[in-house]
Structure 1
Amino acid sequence: MARSPALTGILFAIGGTLIFSINDVSIKFLSDGYALHQVILIRAFVAMAFILTVIGVSERGFSQIATSRPVTHLARVLIVMVSNVTFFVGLAAMPLADAVAVAYVSPIVVTLLSIVFLQEKVGPRRWAAVIVGMLGVIVMLRPGAGVIQPAALLVLISAVLYASGNLLARHMGGTESAMTLSFYVQAGFIVVSLCMGLWVGDGHLATESELWAFLFRPWIWPPMADWPVFLATGLSVGIGGLMVTQAYRTIEAGLIAPFEYVGMPLAILWGLVVFGTFPDAVSWVGIALICGSGLYVIWRETVRKRETDAA
């Protein structure tokens, strides 16, 4: 029996998200000793090697790199680049599970943006789920502690940009393959990271601030013990990126986005096993609100599909 396109897209989204979790934990692990742009550069070279290998053995070959939409690709590359930088700078200063929880506002933002840019229909119950999810984000920002966490705000900005990049992938899906979209993103990472290395790779803008140290510390040559971690982050973003991009370019954004929440349990597990951190009571409230709203969206989408099919 042929698998439905919706199910295939959902499986790609789930698989890509699970693989992406390796990227998150790897970069947080590397954040104590390396500059972010150096990590992204090595990661992009590994991911690009994987993507070029897949393109080379695919039926269309390297002809699929050609595009008639260079400006749109450039816009998406810039969005994804800033999304990555803001997320990983915030991640370096936050517990892994907390950062991932705030980032999971992204599927909620996808639902909102899909209404405006893709004219997708969202009913009142899904609107209620969006509001609950945003309340969860407010809890994670912890304004009652006297000051909103700057790191959490960076992750929130990243989530909005990530959602925008995924909607662009959906918009471009009619003419651009997942290979093409992933190729240009990794090419952009390489170019921007090299430029950053030439500008601040000597560490002259390095700061003692926990939030910005990851961005401006000097480049160093990684010891052999760290190369497997670099390899893991490159392969995870290459494979996971292809899978998530394929999901968003083929299936309705509002349907795919909530399935990215499967990464939350893994983030908690990685945080406990690798970093010895575990969400506190306030974080659990925020996680419950954000993930609960996503699960509700999934349930409502299932009901809506059944009603549509029955009609």
Structure 2
Amino acid sequence: MAVRQHPVAGAALWMAAALVSFILMAVSGRELAASFSTFQILLIRSVIGVLLIGGLVWLTGWQQLRTHRVKAHLGRNIAHFAGQYGWFYGLGLISLAEVIALEFTTPVWTALLAALVLGERLTAPRWLALLFGIGGLLLILRPGAGVMHPAALAVLAGAMGYAAAYIFTKSLSGTDTPLCILFYMTLMQLPMSLIPLSLLPDQPQWLMPQGELWVWMVLVGVTAMSAHYCMTKAFQLADAGVVVPLDFLRLPLIAVVGFVFYGEALDVWVLLGALLMFGGNLINLRAEWRRQRA
């Protein structure tokens, strides 16, 4: 007899695949940041994404692209593009661990938006996760200590953009397929990165990737698609307040990568802040697991 998989367990498996994709995307972004502007990285990522998702849709059927929620897709992609810009911008200026730790404030903003927009209830464990998240953020940024890099604020703003995108994703996953969501993501975000490159006078000159830089460009495009496909599948199985905290395992892994390959020091304040956020979200995750089992 087949064993039915628990929804939270299924979401955890999809988020594990997303976690690997996000780490590879971060490393690729760091490698590219020294040579290309953020807008050019996002543009090539979108071009690769259109080709990949277009090929998958061609194989599986164009009918799954039908949607009556174009405005929701547009809102999601404006928010997600803002999040991506802040994230990739920070990768070239601050440590990998700090970028990921600041991105981990996303559950704080997601829980608040989920309560306001989706009507998800703010239970006591979710309130604890919010308080722990704010405390962790203060430890990481240490306002007034004179150590906060301006790029950290860009990453923090990007985390807010991600939170809004997650809310749209949770809503869209109830009516549209993951491939549909990804297709419109790449299609809509392509001109969002092309227009600034064409119109803004202070943007660096367009550069054609050479040699191994093409490998990093392709990896950015592939992992961006795989990460969001896996995350969309996870959202179909569990609430936004459950799915997003599962991503916290990224921090120790990316900290090791930054230490080994880039010589980045392990900032104790960043680690303590992220640990505080993780503790709050672990309490929330255990409560959600028990609630769903009941």
Please indicate the TM-score interval, normalised by the length of the shorter structure: over 0.9
Structure 2 CA distance for aligned equivalents of residues 297 and 150 of structure 1? 31
1:107 corresponds to: 107
> Is the contact between residue 125 and residue 300 of structure 1 (CA under 8 Å) also seen in structure 2?
yes
Provide the identity percentage.
27
Distance 1:184 1:112 in 2: 26
Quote how far apart the aligned CAs of 1:34 are: 0.6
1:258 aligns with 2:245: yes
Aligned equivalent of 1:46: 48
Q: CA deviation at 1:67?
A: 1.7
1:167 is matched with 167
Q: How far off its partner does 1:250 sit?
A: 4.3
CA distance in 2, matches of 1:166, 1:282: 27
Secondary structure at the counterpart of residue 212 of structure 2: helix
1:287 matches 2:287? no
AA paired with 1:157? A
TM-score by length of 2: 0.93
Distance in 2, Cα, partners of 1:227 & 1:154? 26
Check conservation: 1:108, 1:294, Cα contact below 8 A: no
Residues 255-304 of structure 1 show CA distances to partners (whole Å, capped at 9, x for unaligned) of: 21110112112211221233111322222221221222222222222233
Aligned residue number for residue 36 of structure 2: 34
Whole-Å separation in 2 of the counterparts to 1:6 and 1:141: 32
- The answer to which of 13-22 and 78-87 deviates more is 13-22
The secondary structure found in structure 2 opposite 1:191 is helix
Q: How far is 1:123 from its partner?
A: 2.1
Listed as ranges, the gaps of 5+ residues in structure 1 are: 206-215
SS across alignment from 1:217: coil
* Counterpart in the other structure of 1:149: 149
* 8 Å Cα contact 1:178-1:249 kept in structure 2: no
| 1:97–1:278 contact (8 Å) kept in structure 2 | no
CA–CA distance in structure 2, aligned partners of residues 169 and 250 of structure 1: 13
In the alignment, the residues of structure 2 paired with residue 184 and residue 274 of structure 1 have an alpha-carbon distance, to the nearest angstrom, of: 35
- Residue number in structure 2 paired with 1:247: 234
Q: How many residues align?
A: 292
Flag structure 2 segments of 5+ consecutive residues without an equivalent.
none
1:270 aligns with 2:257: yes
SS, match of residue 143 in structure 1: coil
What one-letter code is carried by the residue in structure 2 that aligns with 1:301? E
> In angstroms, what is the RMSD of aligned CA positions?
1.7
C-alpha separation between the residues in 2 aligned to 1:145 and 1:187? 42
* Shift of residue 181, structure 1, vs aligned partner: 0.7
What code does the residue aligned with 1:15 have? A
Q: CA deviation at 1:249?
A: 4.0
Q: For 2:274, what is the secondary structure of its paired residue? A: helix
Moved more, 39-48 or 78-87: 39-48
